[in-house]
Structure 1
Amino acid sequence: MASENWYKLGPVDDYKKIPLKEIKISNKLTIALSYHNGKFGAISNTCNHVGGPLGKGRLDDDGDYVVCPWHSWKFHRITGFGEPGFEEDRVPQYHLKIENNELFINLNPVTTRNKKPHPPHPLSRDNTRREGPIRIVGISTTVMDKDNPRYSTSEKLLKIALDHAKNDLKCDTLLIRLNELHFRSCEGYYSKSAKACTWPCSITQMDSSDQLDKVYEALVHWADVIVVSTPIRWGAASSLYYKMAERLNCIQNQITIQNKILIKNKVASFIITGGQDNVQDVAGHMLGFFAELGFLFPPFPFIAHSRGWSAEDMENNMIDVENSSDLKEGAKDLVRRCVEMAEILVVTDIFKRKVVLSGRKARKIEMSEKK
């Protein structure tokens, strides 16, 4: 039984008005106070997951569990125990009492916090590069009807670049078509709190059917080089590109809130095509965005094609790309520049790691000799 250290919260009627409320008692203690079916409950305000404020969440449909506003973890509003199946995952519970129509809380918790071990998400592993040839992932962001696919100029040039990398430059290659992946849009966890935007992505952690994990795996763990292709749509990159880019915020956010850099010594480049011009603006956005993620760029990091604002005859645009030897050679040259830069970065990284390991060994020997 917890020792008694009662603190007056205030008139009972004041706390019956809101089903769930965050109450700060001191700099060290904030609780989630709830009221449902004539009974109060008080538990720690801090979620076990990444510290979300439980008191700013909601009660579930039955009114028994507090739902964290960040990532929807649930804890019983009175006992603090986790939802069924995760009961061992609990937050501290606090006793309450009513005297003279005033609500009091015992500041000494009844139970302690217990974080049930959850298996780490595969994406959360260390992203040290494994040995092997240069690895290139191409990401096509063009949108089309899967049952009735059409010719895509941007994807065509991307395939030419990947084929050249595989057959002539002896690289490992992977093509990801965003159009073939089922993934949710960014749901704005960052807007709740910077710390709510996690790595791996909050959505990826909660929804095993979300397929953007393939992109995360490729960018963070697998690839040395990425080549992103996009059509120009009303002066901008494709809608799928932006849908992906919003979900990539979880990578950049780790730099700003944890000083954790997930993208190191990786090269990015772009293929941009469209019937109407705005190449420099699209390229500028893509360069700025991927630079913020940590990618580096080769000389002349994009190729592009456009027939200008008045070119509405899109069938001729497709013919131009299909018949253009300059664009096909440009795609090959682009990936070659990427590979050359990636090779330098990989060799440099290996050398640095060897120097670090040698330094550690030397320090160990020196410490051993001193002993």
Structure 2
Amino acid sequence: MDFSHLKALYINCTLKKSPDKSHTETLMKVSQNILEKENVAFETVRLIDADVASGVYPDMTEHGWDKDEWSKIYEKVMEADVLVVGTPIWLGEKSSEAQKLIERLYAMSGKTNDKGQYVYYGKVGGCIVTGNEDGVKHCAMGILYALQHIGYSVPPQADCGWIGEVGPGPSYGDSEWKDENIDPPVGFNSEFTNRNTTFMTYNLLHLAKLLKENNGYSNYGNSREAWDDGTKWSFENPEYR
């Protein structure tokens, strides 16, 4: 199986600026190690390090913001076949940075590709969630729904995560999980997390490969430009009586 023609972008939505340690990034590296072995190019962006404005417009400097570096990140999004959103859990929810990312992705979703489809058609999305409280599936549900709604394709088992004991305590990769009788440390030794991270990574690659090698989706029945020009395919307004 050759995935070397693919490119992935990981956007880490931690609330910690570099160079502070991000537990989310630690789990991301498990997925990225697979990509390295499969010769897949990838890049990581820590969203909070960039001066990205909040909002749902492509350029927020046109809406009262002095600075907005979103366009630089959007270029990376468009260059990538796969987008992986990483977030910690806070109060059972994805981080505020993750919500901002989704809103800025949504801001661009009205653009179209060369087939007249919405711009994210043909791209694949997944997510990685970490924390020490419940909420992995809840966060994944919201992120993956948002990605597919704006045009990303989501394969089976497109999320993975790790949570420790409920309440304050060590997070993924922390040395506090070290047990002298266990190597690697407990935080790295979760069969559930390791399996799901591996399955997610390969499922993202499989779907991205299928889409890229088939030039994405046919635009029959899903072209916004064609619809606006009057093409309705097999649709007709229902008769009301």
TM-score category (smaller protein):
0.7 to 0.9
The structure 1 residue matched to 2:208, chosen from 330, 335, 342, is 342
Q: Show structure 2 runs of 5+ residues with no match.
A: 178-185, 220-241
Counterpart for residue 156 of structure 1: 26
Counterpart for residue 167 of structure 2: 311
Shift of 1:163: 2.8
Q: Counterpart amino acid of 2:215?
A: D
Contact 1:267 1:297 survives alignment (8 Å):
yes
Distance (whole Å) between structure 1 residues aligned to residue 14 and residue 76 of structure 2: 18
Shift of 1:274: 1.2
Q: Secondary structure at the match of 2:51?
A: coil
Counterpart for residue 109 of structure 2: 252
- Taking CA–CA contacts closer than 8 Å with sequence separation of 6 or more, which of the two structures ends up with the larger relative contact order? 2
Q: Which has the higher strand share?
A: 1
Q: Residues 189-208 of structure 1 correspond to what in structure 2 (within 5 A)? A: 197=57, 201-203=58-60
Counterpart for residue 39 of structure 2: 170
Is residue 2:74 matched to residue 1:216?
Answer: yes
Distance (whole Å) between structure 1 residues aligned to residue 25 and residue 188 of structure 2: 11
Contact 2:122 2:211 survives alignment (8 Å):
yes
Counterpart for residue 327 of structure 1: 193
Distance (whole Å) between structure 2 residues aligned to residue 264 and residue 316 of structure 1: 33
Q: Counterpart amino acid of 1:140?
A: N
Q: How large is the RMSD of aligned CA atoms in angstroms?
A: 2.9
Change (3 A) 1:350 1:315: closer
Q: Say how many residue pairs are matched.
A: 202
Cα distance per residue 1:224-274 (max 9 Å; x no partner) = 11111111110100111112222222123447xxx7511121110111111
Q: Residues 264-279 of structure 1 correspond to what in structure 2 (within 5 A)? A: 264-279=121-136
Distance (whole Å) between structure 1 residues aligned to residue 117 and residue 130 of structure 2: 34
Counterpart for residue 49 of structure 2: 180
Q: TM-score, normalised by structure 1?
A: 0.49
Shift of 1:300: 0.6
Contact 2:52 2:70 survives alignment (8 Å):
yes
Q: TM-score, normalised by structure 2?
A: 0.73
Asked which structure has the greater CA Rg, the reply is 1
